Amino acid sequence: MRVTIEHREKPTLIGNKSFFVDVTVLFSEMEKAVIRERQMGKHFIQVGSDIPRNTGLDDYGLPAGILRIISRVGFIAALISLVLHVPDLVRAEWIVFFLLVGAGPLAYRKYAEWQYNTSNVFRALELNHLIHNPEFTVYAADALAAAQAEQSIVKQLEELKQRLLAVAPGLSEKQVYKL
């Protein structure tokens, strides 16, 4: 198993920095074979989200409520326009406009709520996933949190390696960490 860990800083729009820990876990062909043959693909490591915490919209916050109201008003206006369209009192362009007024904020709110919820949970990365997608990123609030995230990841990968060695003792090879 070859593990590469890199720290990255990304400036935000308001002048702060976001810290990320980029990790690559490469398994040897022998390790991949052991994982497949011994059905260890469901074993996992638990890491933080790759999305900065609390980005997006809280489900019950004021901005989400405002977007809810705008989208509902847009859909109700589209429905009223559709009813009034029958006697040709309202043109079809208005119906499309009101549908867009309803659908735009709704789509953005749903995406922002998903992003908020995703940013606050830990991910379980299974070995089956890591074999096919060896790279992952973890967000950290600051440099200290990034160092702690790195320590946690290294510890979990060492435990994972010990589990692989317990199942297949022939895997004991030199471990390389690039930090």
Each residue of 93-121: pLDDT tens digit?
777 888 888 898 888 888 888 777 777 67
> How much is the average pLDDT of 50-77?
77
- Distance in angstroms (rounded) separating the CA atoms of residues 115 and 55: 7
Q: Residue 49: which pLDDT band, with cuts at 50, 70 and 90?
A: confident
C-alpha 8: how far from its chain's center?
A: 17
